[in-house]
Amino acid sequence: MERKPEWLKVRYNQEAVDEVAKLLGELKLNTVCKEANCPNLGECYRKHTATFMILGSECTRNCRFCNVTPGKPLPPDPEEPENVALAAKKLGLRHVVLTCPTRDDLPDGGAAHFAKTVGAIRASCPGVTVETLISDMKMNTSALDVVIAAHPEVLNHNVETVRELQKAVRPQADYQRSLDVLRYCKGKDPTLLTKTGFMVGLGETEEQIGRLLDDVLAVGCDILTIGQYLQPSPEHYPLARYATPEDFARYKEMALAKGFRHVASAPLARSSYKAWEALEGVHDLH
Amino acid sequence: MEKQLSLPRLRPEMTSGVLCAWLKAEGETVRAGEPVYEIETDKVVNQIEATEGGVLKKLLREEGDEVAAGEAVAILETE
């Protein structure tokens, strides 16, 4: 195993993790923090924040960068929307991020379950903002319409990597389809803030990153996250390099210069990490 | 009271990690919330915090050792 650079250090406190894990376990809830083996879990759980992974913990796709278990997922848990709302209330969340494994087995890709969960949070947690980090739902516009109609404050869908590495890194997804999802959602409801993210360290070039930024901006995307790819295990897609904090600062400058409204770019920046700050940052610009 | 500090299971499938550095020496006082040692896993280096204060009475493992999840790495004399 290659030695980790200095900037990839995180704090971990077992008591804080246990406290949040116990609450989530009692409500039969999954988090992407745990399923994706997120390096920020210790910090986020300590601050009582978590990203709920609704619609089960098994994914119908098998992206080579991702730690979520591929498999045959169970039908959606009808109690899950209420349980997420209850957990959000107990944790005192001001911004709830919902994500899911890709559910190609469901005709609507899980859209109705997303909408129910947003509705349950709205009913139990007044004033709390919601971000839905969705799959591409196979670009099924009637499914996307259901999520859009639930009107999350932020609609997030990740392109994950540059166009040139899509086939190798996420073989069952498609760069253009992801761009189409972002474009469609923004076009359908321009008041939605749209957000995407990608990883560096998979072998992309700076020119390819520049083209990705242009592509994403062209579909009206407001918020961008850029983080380091961290290989979950030796079986996953090989790590090409560790980008330095200076590289991330440069990517951020590039993105802001091109016109993004908010950019989180740091080695441990993740799609939902400090998501509330991103929303707040954009609102400041209103 | 003596308590064992054990390597937490940082993720469900974790079996072991490499103890890459002690951040406190034997005999040193540790406060709750202070990082005590570093464990390298597949993705990052984790600084493991003490969940209670005390004196680090004995270090049971050395830097560079591969430690199994749940295994004791030190003995803490709690306050």
pLDDT, tens digit (0-9, with 9 covering 90-100), for A256-268 = 999 999 999 999 9
Whether the predicted interface score ipTM is above 0.90: yes
| Contacting residues for B7 by C-beta, under 8 A, at least 6 apart | B17, B19, B39, B48, B67, B68, B69, B70, B71, B73
pLDDT at A3: 79
| Contacting residues for A37 by C-beta, under 8 A, at least 6 apart | A67, A232, B11, B42, B43
CB-CB under 8 Å, B12 with A12:
no
Compute the radius of gyration of chain A from its Cα atoms: 18
What is the spatial distance between Cα A246 and Cα A252, in angstroms, rounded to a whole number? 10
Q: What residues in B contact A15, CB-CB < 8 Å?
A: 51
Name the phi and psi angles at A80, rounded to 5: -60, -45
What is the spatial distance between Cα A30 and Cα A26, in angstroms, rounded to a whole number? 11
Q: What is the dihedral of CA A214, A220, A223, A229, to 10 degrees?
A: -40
Query: Residue A197 half-sphere exposure, CB side, CA atoms within 13 Å?
Result: 24
Instruction: Tell me which chain A residue has its CA closest to the CA of residue B70.
Output: A14
pLDDT at B52: 93
- Hey, which residues does B29 pair with through a beta bridge? B55
- Hey, which residues does A12 pair with through a beta bridge? B48
pLDDT at A285: 47
- A205 DSSP 8-state letter: -
Tokens of A162: 């540059």
- Of B18, B45, B51, nearest to A14 by CB-CB distance is B51
Contact indicator for B3, B54 with CB cutoff of 8 Å: yes
Chain A nearest CA to B53, separation (Å) = 13
Q: What residues in A contact B9, CB-CB < 8 Å?
A: none
| Contacting residues for A253 by C-beta, under 8 A, at least 6 apart | none
Inter-chain CB pairs, A–B, below 8 Å: 55
pLDDT digits (tens, 9 = 90+) for B64-78: 999 999 999 999 999
pLDDT in tens, chain A (286 residues): 567 999 999 999 988 888 899 999 999 999 888 888 888 888 888 887 889 999 999 999 999 999 899 999 999 999 999 999 999 999 999 899 999 999 999 999 999 999 999 999 999 999 999 999 999 999 999 999 999 999 999 999 999 999 999 999 999 999 999 999 999 999 999 999 999 999 999 999 999 999 999 999 999 999 999 999 999 989 999 999 999 999 999 999 999 999 999 999 999 998 888 788 888 888 754 4
- Of B8, B18, B44, nearest to A9 by CB-CB distance is B44
What is the spatial distance between Cα A158 and Cα A194, in angstroms, rounded to a whole number? 10
- Of A1, A10, A37, nearest to B11 by CB-CB distance is A37
- A163 DSSP 8-state letter: G
What is the spatial distance between Cα A271 and Cα A97, in angstroms, rounded to a whole number? 10
Residue A27, amino acid: L
pLDDT at A1: 55
Interface of A with B in 10-39 (CB under 8 A): 10-15, 17, 34, 37, 39
